[in-house]
């Protein structure tokens, strides 16, 4: 089928058949479709959308553009989670070992940060020696022996997605719900999962700022995943403030280790992590109910089994064998620290969360382009949450920077992102809704 005819049909508002979509994706993978044609197709989908059947066909075709992992030899269920991203969202680092320690297998294929959002893979790369993109043999060995592996997409998994995303990124078509859905799910389907839980963020630090948009994306992800044969559900969770009290790479890894060992846990982060763990355990058939899942996850944390699973995973993928016990020995540390001081007495009534993420990018801890190099050491810690009482002159946050000028610029950005008021605001829910397959 000629790619230009497929583009024309979608441009004119027609539904594409599964063979038409497969033909286009085959050309996308093999190079028979030009960059201009890829961009035209993405723009046609952006304006005209896709039916559920079209989105399922696109997802399956992109899955089949490369290898599909087979975990049928494992003695337990295979499950995973995907987050749409935000600021201080290091949930994956705790969630994978918690669920693995409860008896599941979690081959967690993660991404890098772009824009104001942090990337799980960049966080893991802050650990010296950690191989974040192993070959399939090492991935399989790690998952079998430790129960989990937090890694990046290999060249052989859903290669059509990499090309389509690169074009979307430069053609103003990133925000298309069916294209987002197919991008996320093609990689998860290629990972050979038995079940998947989606964490769709909503708020001023999320990709989707409005509740209706986040709910629409969550419904699309759940319906298309199930239509493609993958059991899936979703939680819509709040991102009107950083999820952890740390934002950056090494600083979020340290926050995760403190969480796993019980040295320190941010309350909202704990709520979201346990909720997602319970959802994954239920979905995998390892918990009878939500309450049972939360209980099992909490017991696994308290007993140290999740921390031990994380340590085994880090060591299996090339990191230090005593990393959990001595993270400060291995994680890079920025040379300059600067406290951001509250200008007046009061309560934190709001945080411009996206601006916190951009402050991290400004320090060198994030990307504005996919090929940018990042500084794993820089970031922001001790971020005061919404509702915290802050006396004048006390720290709202602590900036970790490479230079004094970088620290001062980031501190000014953080201060501008905080709103201080006389009254303590009502607490927002962390988990706003649960999305299950219809019918």
What does the DSSP 8-state code read for residue 361? I
Tell me the three-class secondary structure of 119-157, residue by residue: CHHHHHCCCCCCCCCCCHHHHHHHHHHHCEEEEECCCCC
Q: How far apart are CA 191 and CA 152, in angstroms?
A: 11
Note whether 361 and 325 are within 8 A (CB): no
- DSSP, collapsed to helix, strand or coil, labels residue 80 as strand
Question: Within 13 Å, how many C-alpha atoms sit on residue 57's CB side?
Answer: 17
Do the beta carbons of residue 207 and residue 353 sit within 8 Å? no
Computed over its alpha carbons, how large is the radius of gyration of the chain?
21
Element (H, E) at 409: helix 404-417
Torsion of CA 186, 191, 192, 197, to 10 degrees: -70
Q: Is 230 exposed, middle or buried (0-12, 13-18, 19+ CB in 10 A)?
A: buried
H/E stretch holding 213? helix 211-227
215 vs 219: CA distance, rounded Å: 6
Give catalytic residue positions.
80-83, 120, 168, 183, 187-188
Q: Residue 48's closest CA among 168, 163, 171, 179?
A: 179
Inter-CA distances, 70 with 60, 154, 190, 290, Å: 16, 15, 9, 28
Nearest-angstrom CA–CA distance, 271 and 64? 36
Closest C-alpha to 98, from 40, 399, 90, 393: 90
């Amino acid at each position: 089928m000629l790619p230009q005819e497929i583009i024309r049909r979608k441009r004119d508002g027609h539904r594409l058949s599964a063979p038409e979509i497969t033909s286009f994706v085959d050309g996308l993978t093999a190079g028979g479709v030009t960059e201009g044609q890829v961009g035209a197709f993405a723009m046609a989908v952006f304006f005209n959308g896709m039916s559920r059947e079209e989105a399922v066909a696109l997802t399956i075709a992109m899955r089949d553009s490369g290898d599909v992992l087979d975990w049928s030899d494992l003695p337990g269920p295979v499950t995973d989670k995907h987050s749409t991203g935000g600021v201080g969202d290091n949930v994956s680092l705790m969630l994978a070992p918690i669920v693995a320690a409860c008896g599941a297998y979690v081959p967690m294929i993660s991404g890098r940060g772009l824009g104001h959002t942090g990337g799980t893979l960049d966080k893991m790369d802050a650990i010296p020696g950690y191989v974040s993109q192993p070959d399939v043999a090492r991935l399989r060995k790690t998952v079998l022996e430790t129960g989990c592996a937090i890694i990046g997409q290999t060249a052989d998994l859903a290669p059509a997605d990499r090309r389509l995303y690169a074009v979307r990124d430069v053609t103003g078509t990133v925000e298309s719900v069916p294209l987002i859905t197919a991008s996320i799910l093609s990689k998860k389907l290629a990972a050979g999962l038995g079940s998947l839980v989606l964490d769709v963020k909503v708020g001023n630090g999320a990709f989707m700022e409005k509740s209706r948009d986040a709910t629409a994306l969550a419904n699309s992800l759940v319906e298309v995943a199930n239509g493609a044969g993958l059991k899936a559900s979703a939680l819509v969770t709040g991102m009107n403030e950083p999820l952890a009290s740390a934002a950056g790479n090494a600083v979020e890894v340290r926050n995760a280790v403190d969480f796993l060992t019980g040295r320190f846990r941010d309350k909202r982060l704990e709520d979201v992590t346990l909720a997602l763990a319970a959802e994954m355990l239920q979905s995998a058939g390892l918990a009878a109910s939500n309450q049972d899942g939360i209980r099992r996850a909490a017991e696994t944390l308290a007993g140290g089994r999740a921390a031990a699973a994380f340590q085994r995973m880090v060591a299996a993928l090339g990191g230090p064998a005593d990393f959990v016990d001595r993270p400060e020995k291995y994680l890079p540390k920025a040379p300059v620290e600067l406290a951001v001081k509250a200008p007046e007495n009061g309560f934190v009534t709001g945080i411009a969360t996206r601006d916190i993420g951009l402050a991290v990018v400004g320090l060198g801890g994030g990307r504005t382009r996919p090929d940018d190099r990042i500084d794993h050491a820089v970031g922001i810690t001790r971020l005061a949450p919404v509702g915290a009482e802050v006396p004048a002159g006390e720290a709202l946050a602590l900036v970790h920077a490479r230079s004094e000028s970088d620290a001062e610029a980031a501190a000014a950005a953080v201060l501008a992102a905080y709103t201080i008021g006389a009254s303590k605001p009502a607490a927002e829910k962390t988990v706003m809704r649960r999305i299950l397959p219809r019918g």
